[in-house]
């Protein structure tokens, strides 16, 4: 990999197959939540396989700034001694880095505390919408200042009151911010969602000792509950696994084993879609840890890949995995059609525009829509130059697509992968047979 101070170029050579076994870094979504709840809990929590990505470590740094003690041990474990429900006034802004998860969820956690908090982030984070967080927290009594709906965000904390809230946009981050605030508010807070989002927050809250009630499309939490520290192993990250699963899908003689993977049912839609396209998935074992399902799976590919249509609730469930699905769509027989995914335009980049741009740079036809794209199947990709747009998922998606391209592919801005998955290129190259 050649590298400059600000930009790195990873050259991906075509592969003949994709084989081996891998254990992935801890799930980012779970790591964020464990870090924050440990920071407000009583006692010292210890985490094994905590995410190595930069984003969850932004959450850890914010916990330190709020008074928690964070220790990173030589064996990779992380311990967090919490504040027992008493965050202090930080002496500087809370730096969320590139992490929208940190900014949105943390705003709910700090909202009930009688201090003024300023949350900042990098240039990408200041472009992402934050009004969706301000509205419910303001209804609870928090005063939140934004700049045209974006960060920097100033939270003027204080006592909050419970609300009943219908989430207008499917968002686990918005749901989590409300649950974290409701945990400390006066009364019982209720949330309804038309599309069920990932439920890591509910499992994490219960693991730390909170009581929640849930039915098919709503949940409630009583305020005034205290949390106790836990010891936990973070499951392997399904969003990171998506890249390796898609790589295995591209080669008929692939054979990939993924150990200790998070198998949460609200994240399993990816496995269903890939299975429909042609990935054969064999669970080797599954167990429960703190409400999260962890399993080892073996996968290989069918001789011919069909295609997929992704829309409605499925688009919301797969929002993080859509770029890599679109990137491999040319190799399928029937292509992949994506709709109802306008949220992709306000991620770390405009992922619809950038995915379409990079597919065209590799010689593919693609039709871009405001809320998705159509990528026809039966196409041949050629090596070329693609641009990550400093977006980790775009960098990794087109590194996977490059494995079946004709000729080498240069991924510009490859360093973006470290935001969520620093080991990505090392593991990808170890599994790609050339």
Strands 385-387 and 409-412: parallel
Q: Could you give the dihedral angle defined by the CA atoms of residues 190, 192, 196 and 200, in that order, rounded to the nearest 10 degrees?
A: -20
Q: Which two tokens stand for residue 390?
A: 């400093």
Whole-number Å distance between alpha carbons of 241 and 124: 24
316 and 267 Cβ atoms separated by less than 8 Å: no
Closest listed residue to residue 359, CA positions, set 390, 332, 385: 385
Which stretches does DSSP call E strand in 44-100? 44-48, 69-72, 78-81, 94-95
First to last CA, the chain: 17
Rounded to whole angstroms, how far apart are CA atoms 248 and 230?
A: 36
Is residue 236 within 8 Å of residue 261, measured between CB atoms?
yes
Do residues 395 and 411 lie in contact, with contact meaning Cβ atoms separated by under 8 Å?
A: yes
Exposed/middle/buried for residue 20 (C-beta within 10 Å: 0-12, 13-18, 19+): middle
One DSSP character per residue, 275-309 reads HHHTEEEEEEEEEEETTEEEEEEEEEE-SS--EEE
What residues form DSSP beta bridges with 256? 20, 299
**DSSP tag of 405:** S
Instruction: Give the separation between CA 142 and CA 113, rounded to whole angstroms.
Output: 10
CA distances, 341 to each of 14, 170, 174, 311, 388 (Å): 30, 11, 17, 7, 19
Instruction: Give the C-alpha distances (Å, rounded to integers) separating 248 from 76, 207, 298.
Output: 28, 34, 10
Tell me if residue 150 falls in helix, strand or coil: strand
Q: Which of 55, 95, 199, 320 is catalytic?
A: 320
| Residue whose pair of structure tokens reads 């080669």 in the numeric block | 251
Half-sphere exposure of 367 (CA within 13 A, CB side): 8
In the annotation, is 320 catalytic?
A: yes
Give catalytic residues, as residue numbers.
320
């Amino acid at each position: 990999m050649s590298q400059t101070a600000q930009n790195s170029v990873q050259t991906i050579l075509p592969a003949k197959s994709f084989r081996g076994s891998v254990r992935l870094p801890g799930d980012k979504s779970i790591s964020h939540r464990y870090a924050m709840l440990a920071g407000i809990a009583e006692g010292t929590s210890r985490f094994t396989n905590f995410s190595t990505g930069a984003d969850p470590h932004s959450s850890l740094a914010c916990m330190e700034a709020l008074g928690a003690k964070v220790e990173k041990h030589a064996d990779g474990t992380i311990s967090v001694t919490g504040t027992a429900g008493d965050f202090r006034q930080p002496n500087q802004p809370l730096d969320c880095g590139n992490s929208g998860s940190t900014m949105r969820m943390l705003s709910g956690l700090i909202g009930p505390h009688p201090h003024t908090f300023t949350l900042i982030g990098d240039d990408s984070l200041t472009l992402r919408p934050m009004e969706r967080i301000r509205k419910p927290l303001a209804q609870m009594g928090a005063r939140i200042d934004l700049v045209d709906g974006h960060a920097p965000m100033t939270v003027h904390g204080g006592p909050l009151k419970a609300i009943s809230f219908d989430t207008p946009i499917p968002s686990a981050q918005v749901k989590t911010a409300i649950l974290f605030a409701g945990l400390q508010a006066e009364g019982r807070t209720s949330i309804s969602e038309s599309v069920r989002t990932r439920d890591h927050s509910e499992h994490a809250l219960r693991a730390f000792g909170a009581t929640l009630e849930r039915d098919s499309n709503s949940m409630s939490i009583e305020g005034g509950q205290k949390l106790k520290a836990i010891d936990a192993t973070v499951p392997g990250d399904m969003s990171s696994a998506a890249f390796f699963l898609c790589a295995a899908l591209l080669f008929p003689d692939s054979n990939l084993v993924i150990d200790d993977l998070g198998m949460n049912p609200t994240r399993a839609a990816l496995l269903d879609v890939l299975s429909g396209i042609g990935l054969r998935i064999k669970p080797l074992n599954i167990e429960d840890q703190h409400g999260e399902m962890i399993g080892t799976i073996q996968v290989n590919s069918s001789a011919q890949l069909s295609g997929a249509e992704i829309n409605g609730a499925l688009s919301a469930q797969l929002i993080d995995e859509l770029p890599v699905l679109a990137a491999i769509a040319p190799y399928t027989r029937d292509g992949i059609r994506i709709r109802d995914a306008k949220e992709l335009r306000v991620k770390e980049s405009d992922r619809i525009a950038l995915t379409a741009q990079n597919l065209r740079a590799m010689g593919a036809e693609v039709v871009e829509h405001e809320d998705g794209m159509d990528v026809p199947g039966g196409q041949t990709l050629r090596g070329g130059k693609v641009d990550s747009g400093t977006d980790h998922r775009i960098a990794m998606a087109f590194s996977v697509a490059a494995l079946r391209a004709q000729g080498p592919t240069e991924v510009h801005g490859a360093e973006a992968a470290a935001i969520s998955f620093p080991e990505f290129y090392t593991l990808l190259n170890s599994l790609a047979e050339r």
